[in-house]
Amino acid sequence: MAGGLCHITFVTKNLDRMEKILTTVMKARKVEDPGADEFTLTKERIFQIGEGLSSVWIVLIEGSVDLARSYNHVAFIIREEDVEERLAAIEALGLDLHDGHPHGTGRGLHGEEGHSIYFYDDDNHMFELHVGTLEDRLRRDDRSKGAPLA
């Protein structure tokens, strides 16, 4: 069995634009900007989201991107009190919000599972900002199946 998530790598046409999305919307911290060096073939930047063992690093690599939009996405946890601020940051950057969600908790709406905000970056990567835990999701699923809660 694998352990926790280590890092996520995104290929992007515009490192500066993607950096602005990560630092503004996700509150990421840039930890390295090696550019292109002897270890990489392209320009890259490394960011950290969160702290300690629950943090994840994001690697951005400059390159050609030709992604079709899909529901494949990466979700990040946010606090309930940060929903409006994050939504405003997404809108201020002119990013495309995605309203449809199969669980009925789309764009800034509060469902039993918590708020979820879905948006696309300029390269058609989809991101989710989510309030809630796996336990919340399982509890909701158990209720919908009529199972007693533990």
Cite the active site residues. Answer: 44
Number of other residues whose CB lies within 10 A of the CB of residue 112: 15
75 vs 118: CA distance, rounded Å: 9
Nearest to 121 by CA among 60, 79, 32, 77: 60
User: How is residue 124 written in tokens?
Assistant: 């058609």
